[in-house]
Structure 1
Amino acid sequence: MGKNVVSQRENNAQTGALPVGEVLSEILSALRTSPQVLLHAPTGAGKSTWLPLQILKYSGLPGRIIMLEPRRLAAKNVAYRLAQQLGEQPGQTVGYRMRAESKSGPNTRLEVVTEGILTRMLQQDAELTGVSLVILDEFHERSLQADLALALLLDVQQGLRDDLKLLIMSATLDNQRLSTLLPSAPAIVSAGRSFPVERSYQPLSSHEQLEDGGCQSR
C-alpha cells in the first residue's frame, strides 16, 4: 500500500469526528439552495482545514473554490494541511496564492488566497470566471480588505453571477450585523467540544514551602 494512501486514511480517521462534521449535510444543503451561507464554528472545529475538502468532494459545484485567508502565514499553512490530507503537495488539487508567491496549477480546484489577491482577481475578472464558491474564512477579524471583498462579491452576485456562492466562516460570528446585511442567508452553528479535566493535588512534604510545590506542579 502506498505511503500517500496510508497517510490519507490516517488523516480521514483523525478528522472524521471534528465538530463541523456534524453540520456538514446542513452546510451542503444550504449551499445548494442559498447564494450566501453563514457558518459559526469555534477554533479547532475543522472549518478551515477539513470542511473545504468535503465541500469540494460532495457539493457538486462544477467550478473552482477560492478560500480567502486574512494572513499570509495562515493561507500557506492551511493550503499545506489541505493538500497533505489528499496525499499531495500544494499546486495540485489544492494551491495557494499570495503576493510574490504562488503554488497553483491547471488542475487546482481549491485555491487559498490572501485578501489583496482576491481584490486583484475581482479587478481583472469581475465575473470570477470558473469559480463556483468563495469562502471567507476568519471573518471575525474584520479587516477593511475583508469587508471590501464581501461588498465586491455581493455586487458580483447581484449584477453578474447569480450562480456564485459565498460561505462566510467565523469563530465569533457577528450574527446580528451579518444577518442584517444578508437577511436571507441561513446561519449554521457548529458547537465546540468540551473535554473532561481531572485535577490532582500533590501533597507537600513537611520541609517544603507552598511556593516550592507550586513550581513543581507547573
Structure 2
Amino acid sequence: MVAVAGPPGSGKTTLCRALAERLGAPVLSYDSYEEITGWPPERVSAWLARGAPLDEIPVPGLAGDLARLRNGEPVRDRDGGGTLRLPGTGAGRPVIVFDTLLGRAHAETGPLIDHLIWLDLPLDMALARKLRSFTTEARRDPSAASGLLHALDAYLGRYDTLLRPTYTLQRDRVRPGADQILGSGNLPDHIAETLGALTPLGVPATLSLEPR
C-alpha cells in the first residue's frame, strides 16, 4: 500500500494516477469516502475548537475497502465506476495506490500503509494550484463559469477561518509519519524518486502495465 498525502492542490491525485499507470496499480481515493466537506461551517469550527480529532472525520467504508483490496478481494470503484482489484502476479509485489489526506495519522487506515509519501508544497503554492483548477474548469466549460465562480467565492470565504487552519494541522500531524518527503519538483522527478524508494520493498522500478 503506497499512500500519497499532502494539502489540497499539492498534486496528490496527479502523482497517484501517474504511479498507478506506471505500476499497473489500482487507486483508492479518500475523497470518494469522506463526508466532512458536507459539514456546515459551524460544525467544522466546533471540530477545530475540540482539537480537530482526525478519527472523527467520517469515511464510512474506507478502511474495509482498503483491507479487502489488500487481501486480494475486488472492491467497487466509487470514483471512476467499475471495480478495483490487485494486478495479476508478476515480477515484484503488487501495489495499491492510496490517495489520502490523513496518512498514518488516521487510526483506521494508517496501519494499512506500507509507504507514505508527503508532498511538501507550501500552502500558498497549493492554494494557487487549487485556484487554477477553478479557472481551468471555467475555461473548459464557459457555461459552468457562474457556478464555478460561486464555488470559488465560497472556498475563499472559508479559507482563513476554516481551511488554512485545517491544512496546517494536517501538515503538523501527517508529515511526521511520512517515509518519503517530496518537494515542489516536477512529476517525472517525483515518479523516479518514488520508484527508487519502493525498490527495497520489492517493487521493481519498471513494471509492465496491466489492466486495473
Say whether the fold is shared (TM-score over 0.5): no
Per the normalisation by structure 2, the TM-score is: 0.32
More helix by share: 2
More strand by share: 1
